[in-house]
Amino acid sequence: MSTSEHPIDIASYIDHTVLTPEASAADVEALCAEALAYNVAAVCVSPSRIPVAVAAVNGRLGVATVAGFPSGAHPSSAKIADAVFAADAGATEIDMVVDLGLVVDGRWDEVEADIAAVRAAVPRPTLLKVIIEAAALTDDQIVACCERSEAAGADYVKTSTGFHPSGGASIEAVALMRATVGDRLGVKASGGIRSRESALAMIEAGASRLGTSSTAKILDGDS
């Protein structure tokens, strides 16, 4: 059904995000204040800024962070360290980056083992999202990444870091990811979502979360 027939609460899909290296504690506090005002799903911040975000949202929103970011070309031990630090600091959601080199080489058992190692280190209820950098992959690779993420115990698959030169989220990638995981996993679209139109298009394609730093632009003017 179209969103015009059934208006969507876009805010409830949004991970309000600031992952730029120069983001200060004050920037994170401002992000959290904006997130609370819009009542989004979560804020997403760099690992060192987790304590600032946790204090600012005070349990009223989810706090997400990243592991193995942005390249994914880290040993599993490094991603585990990122994830454990984050959970101990109060993060409720971890967005880890898949090892794209392993994906390109077709070393799927190692891809799955990498994800499973992080999942074991931060069990539920912490949410685990796996960033697959879909714009850099073929359709077959996207499908295999989603299948291996599910097998490894992930809660979400996510399109992009937003930092890769290949680009961010696309409607086609989101639709393919949703078709692969069905209703068993969430699908997070991230990278280049800067308007209400693009946000709704991603949701209609199957996204259950949106990673964006353009929350105010997307939501202002919504009824």
Cis preceding linkage at 21, omega within 30: no
Q: Which two tokens stand for residue 109?
A: 């058992």
Active-site pick, 15, 82, 95, 155: 95
Mean per-residue pLDDT, 56-61: 98
Cα 109 to Cα 133: distance, rounded to the nearest angstrom: 18
pLDDT for 208 equals: 98
Q: Which DSSP category does 131 fall into? A: E
Q: Is 158 among the catalytic positions?
A: yes
Q: Is 79 among the catalytic positions?
A: no
Q: What percent of the chain has pLDDT over 70?
A: 96
pLDDT for 41 equals: 98
Mean per-residue pLDDT, 22-31: 98
Domains of the chain (ranges plus CATH)? Answer: 10-214 (3.20.20.70)
Active-site pick, 79, 82, 129, 188: 188
Cα 153 to Cα 16: distance, rounded to the nearest angstrom: 25
Q: Judge whether residue 7 has pLDDT over 80.
A: no
Q: Is 139 among the catalytic positions?
A: no
Q: What is the largest CA-CA distance in the chain?
A: 48
